[in-house]
Chain A
Amino acid sequence: MNQFAQWLSQTYLSILIQNHNGWVIPTIQSIHIAGIGVVLASVFMVDLRILGWAGLDQTLRQTTNRFAPWLTGALCVLLATGVLMVIGEPVRELITVSFWIKMFLVGVGTLVAATFRISLRKHEHHWEDTISNRASIKWLAILTFLIWVVIIILGRLIAYDHVWGSWSPAQKA
């Protein structure tokens, strides 16, 4: 991974970003944060609906249809800006514990959201009438939200990988 990070840092696009790092990196980060806001709020609204704490004038399907495209769109923006950040600062991103746990959780969060959407489409009535009333599903809704919260926190901690102490590859290197 160190070699990959080094190689990446020599690529044309990486050097281009590095040469303009005064404004390119903060701009990409700012767009990334705005995108995170859209993802978090979208997940939050669907989770609140599952919990029955908001949006009860809408069906679960209506709520999901309202927010899922925003979730998908924002995730694409996050992927694009995230890739640019990795290209621009490969060592700072890739040689950290936070980054890799975050990537794992992004995978889990995306998988949960996709599975939910497919299942809702297949078993719409079942979801509306019974599944969404299950305690286990309500806990899963809370857990899903927390996964995205942890993703955000880990995202910021990439800049401070020393918090992981000896777990951090940057410390060992």
Chain B
Amino acid sequence: MAETQPALQEQTTLAVHPMINDFSITVGTENGSGSQTSNLTILRALFKMGIPVSGKNIFPSNIQGLPTWYTIRVNKDGFLARREEQEIVIAMNPASFEKDLQEVVPGGAFFYADHIKQKINRQDIAIYPMPVKRLARESDAPSNLRNYVANMVYVGILAQNLGIDLDTTYQALNFHFKGRTKPIDLNFNVITAAIDWAAENLEKTDPYRVEPMDETKNYIMTDGNTAAALGSIYGGIQFVSWYPITPASSLPEGINHYLPILRQDPIQPDKNTFAVVQAEDELAAIGMAIGAGWAGLRSMTATSGPGLSLMAEYAGLANFAEVPVVVWDVQRAGPSTGLPTRTSQNDLIFTYFLGHGDTQNIILLPGSINECFEFGWRSFDIAERLQTIIFVLSDLDYGMNQWMALPFEYPDQPMDRGKVLWEEDIEKLKGDWGRYRDVDGDGIAYRTIMGNRHPSAAYFTRGTGHNEDARYTEEPEDWVNLLARLKKKHDNAPDILPKPVIQTMQGTEIGIIGFGSTEPAIQEARHNLAEEGVNTDFMRIRAIPFSPEVQTFIEEHPRNYVIEINRDGQMKQLLTLEYPELALNLISAAYFDGMPLTAKQVQGAIQSGEGK
């Protein structure tokens, strides 16, 4: 590949960042045009070069024809949160051309499809026209695929300009097209033709390039929903019911895809040890999942905010009647239909209190792709141990984007089926047992499961008042005992829930509290602040109700910045509710424009809070 020296003297650059393996790229295309393939190809090619990289889809709630963007961040230090600044912009869509042009930082690079004849009124950037249509025409793509492979032109031209490895680019295509040589070669040929054209016709006048590193060798790359799906399978999932909703659909679809691969039954290979049911709506999805959980299956459903609203009634019943079931909420921006394709962390309050009457629920908060996998299986252990509904709150940013992750680890403990009595157990008790008797004093009773053939095993489950033996009652004492035991069970839950992850620097009064997908932005912000002499401690909460470590952390820091993606500071609200005497130690830093968090936002919150 020809190399051109960056003409630095001619730059009017104000570029702040170093120029090798440290910049962001935005690709503006039309959705439904096949740009997803080309964007993932760039992302994956960089990943296999050993460079830490992330990619985010900023896509519209639409199937075809609206502007969509993909933003790739390359960072040699492994800081992969979104950035406000975009050094390189590729404009393929006339509809967003003007906006895309303004996105480029001074000193940056602007690539554009040259059939777009709009004015380019900037002198402070490198400008690279791309003969996209011509090169697509000249390729051997059939006419109906020409627009699709046209996107590979920018892949090639970018590759030539930045120095993206051709082998890793081929590897990316090979993965995407699952080894099918026809589409791989078709697309690769467009890329190489574009590279040749760029080498011949474009003079590089920007400072950005990539160089191979060795930082990704031990990583895999996948999305959070796939991780959750696989984790669930390693949790022995037996039943999933679901209704399609953005951004959750790919989770049960992933389960459906991997189950036949991973669950080939040794005893009856032509049978299924699982059932996946696409329900008619979320009311049915949660109903089925609860029926299955009640009847002894490891059972789950996945949805987003609007679906959760529909599930409220049955969720309350599962909590009250103590039925194990797992519900993944891959959060998107609400309220209401909201922004279906934008991320948020705004279902905390709703989920925690989901269900009328005095109700609190258990929530898990995975903070990485690896934790999406781990909580995929752990959530079943917790649900069956506590005999209740468990909510796992992920979000669109983790769920639907490709992230670097460590290889998935096999579960480190056997499946915990909880307190279950089968025929022999009932026989040993001579039939003297009660579904809601707190025999161990931990608030958790023993259950039998439909299909248990012992004559004393059966009981009637209901959402109405029931006593220790599951009989209908309206007696005040029975009611109080029941609600008190449910509260005890809930309050004891932190013993078996994931504890917060705490990281400290030297002698600081500043605590940062976060959860979920804000981790990359927070870690980058902490690094930047430390470079300016501002140290911070960080606690990433992983479950609600809170373990004692949460209280200790807040107590130990006079100022705790609670970072979250929602308007009302929902985590701060829950912390205030739980620790009212510590409320003045909490400062809310809540962002809610539907975009993934940036380090600048976190830094800004702390700097202004500290009066700097």
| B is a partner of A | no
Q: Which B residues have a C-beta under 8 Å from some C-beta of A? A: none
